[in-house]
Amino acid sequence: MDRIKNAAIILRLIDKLREKGSWCGETHIQKATFFLQELMQVPMEFDFILYKHGPFSFDLRDELTALRADGLIELEPRWPCGPRLASTDLNEYIQKLYSNTIARYDKKITFIAEILGDKGVTELERLATALYVTKNRTFETLNAERAEELTELKPHITLESAKNAIEEIDSITNEARVHIN
């Protein structure tokens, strides 16, 4: 997908996440975009790696910086948690210009915003890492195996929290199947 279509999707995602109560910091956008791309199969083509706080895309970080430089998003400073992202007035123009792209993916964007909008960064890390572990496994891989792998990758996550995250990812994945087609 080309850059401006990706931008339209990111802008819509930011707006939807904020509507659902998300802090909408970079971590929120990183994890929500990971879910949108990997779970909902939106072809944004960002490369994600497992990093400090779960799946992370340096390409997406660069894109968010470019969107700020282009005046399409801005940082809203907030104490004590740090800045959050907001779309600017130019968003309406982009949304109209790429209304077909938005319409094609809006149901998926809305689903991800509803699932992740009220989550904090700690929960987002667990869920996104659970998805990262799950997406490269066969369906037959046991929950316990995936939970153990998650705790090996992220030792600060307890086995119980990892098991819960794996169960939640399985539930979200089943629910997402309705929205993928």
The domain segmentation of the chain, as residue ranges, is 3-180
Residue 45 neighbours by CB under 8 Å, 6+ apart: 1, 6, 37
User: What is the average pLDDT across 98-123?
Assistant: 96
Q: How far is Cα 127 from Cα 133, in angstroms, rounded to an integer?
A: 10
Specify the pLDDT at position 101: 96
**24, 14 Cβ separation under 8 angstroms:** yes
Q: What is the pLDDT of residues 113-162, one digit of tens each?
A: 999 999 999 999 999 999 999 987 765 678 889 999 999 999 999 999 99
**CB-based burial, 49-63: b 16+ in 10 Å, e otherwise:** eeeebbbbbeebeeb
pLDDT at 82 over 90: no
Q: How far is Cα 17 from Cα 19, in angstroms, rounded to an integer?
A: 5
Angle at 22 between CA 16 and CA 28, to 5 degrees: 95
Q: How far is Cα 165 from Cα 105, in angstroms, rounded to an integer?
A: 26
pTM: 0.94
